[in-house]
Chains A and B, each alone.
Chain A
């Protein structure tokens, strides 16, 4: 009888502690989830900048390799090269922020197609005679976009699982 009474008292005491612990854990999860969602929004904006840069390069390349362009070295070629530098820097920022990428092959292919072997040469318009060049350029741009978006979604899944919300690092 006495043993049962001690057990009941102990259970009552523990219940208070458990409730307090649950409140703290709940608060930590909520706080970390808010942080993670904020971070996700910031990363989404950066990813959009990367994708926008890829699109810009694609359109600049089309413009550069069009019969209406008469300058082999011009604002257009400088802008294409500059945008590639920008693209590298954006990707480095995302990598430093914790996003893992496997886009090196996609970037190389996209650069080789959007610039090409005749880039900044006097006979640059010969690029237009490369078989399937336009299709390959379009496909490589889209493929790079997909790889970046896929990396972002993988990163989001890692950041919003319950383990990462409870563990110290965010």
Chain B
């Protein structure tokens, strides 16, 4: 059991319409999500459940920046990512998409020339 579990409901705590990659793309971009919610939560919690269902939909840039970015920018190792974050969604294709961004970021980090 994690000592200090946390929860982020993106749709309720951030935006129902998250979009974009960096802050210049808009106020509900992946970078803003990282800065405002995810990074502080990672500091304060051993494990975080991220609820995806209450946002209307997710663009590829937002997902890649928010979650692939954690690996790409070496904020978390892949092992830490898997042990600290849990994603909840009724949409199996969304979960698969998210996993693919994380896998790609891991792959690029491990094989920068590949």
Contacts and interface: CB of A to CB of B under 8 A. Distances in A.
A and B interact physically: yes
A78 to B, nearest CB: 7
B93 A77 contact: no
B56 A82 contact: yes
A91 B26 contact: no
B-side interface size class? 20 to 34
A77 B24 CA distance: 17
B54 interface: no
Nearest to B28: A73
Contacts of A118: 61
A-side interface size class? 20 to 34
Interface in B68-114: 91-94, 96-97, 100
A88 interface: yes
Interface in A144-169: none
B4 to A, nearest CB: 33
Interface in A52-85: 72-73, 77-78, 81-82, 84-85
A117 interface: yes
Interface stretch (A4-12, A22-30, A32-40, A107-115): A107-115
Contact of A107 (B17, B21, B93): B93
A108 B102 CA distance: 13
A105 to B, nearest CB: 9
A81 B56 contact: yes
Contact of B62 (A84, A85, A116, A120): A120
A121 B20 contact: yes
Nearest to B22: A121
Contacts of A78: 17, 57
A101 B108 CA distance: 30
A21 interface: no
Given A104-B93, A111-B97, A120-B61, 7 more contacts: A73-B20, A77-B19, A81-B56, A81-B57, A81-B59, A107-B93, A119-B61
25 contacts: A72-B20, A72-B25, A77-B19, A81-B56, A81-B57, A84-B57, A87-B93, A88-B91, A88-B92, A88-B93, A91-B93, A104-B96, A108-B97, A111-B60, A112-B97, A112-B100, A115-B60, A117-B61, A118-B61, A119-B60, A120-B19, A120-B25, A120-B61, A121-B21, A122-B24
Interface of B: 17, 19-22, 24-26, 56-62, 64, 91-94, 96-97, 100
